[in-house]
Amino acid sequence: MLLPQQIAFEDYFRGLRQRPEYSTALFPDVPLTGSVMERAAQPAAAIGAEFPNSEVHIVAHSMGGLDARYMIAQSLLDPFHTTVGSL
């Protein structure tokens, strides 16, 4: 089950998706109660689909940071030929 990035019906990112300077940013949904393996697979798939053969910069906080580190450590972006420039 995937849940939107909302808490009590409030957008966690407070409108960042609509701002022009974030037009290429991704805000992938992840399973709220999933394992780190399940959670890391969602952003890896979203990043790989949107930015294949590219370098990306990941901004993550708290559990998202753990998911991102797992995604990188397990080379989940390799099939997309996507590299991480910074975390």
Residues 15-71 have pLDDT tens digits of 777 888 878 888 888 888 889 999 999 999 999 999 999 999 998 888 889 999 999
The answer to the question of residue 47 being in a domain is yes
Instruction: State which residues form the domain around 61.
Output: 6-86
Token pair 């949107």: residue: 50
The answer to the question of residue 24 being in a domain is yes
Q: What is the dihedral of CA 62, 21, 5, 53, to 10 degrees?
A: -80
The answer to the question of residue 68 being in a domain is yes
Q: How far is 85 from 20, CA to CA, in rounded Å?
A: 22
The answer to the question of residue 36 being in a domain is yes
Q: How far is 50 from 87, CA to CA, in rounded Å?
A: 18
Looking at the structure of the chain, the number of domains it has is 1
Q: What is the pTM of this model?
A: 0.78
The answer to the question of residue 1 being in a domain is no
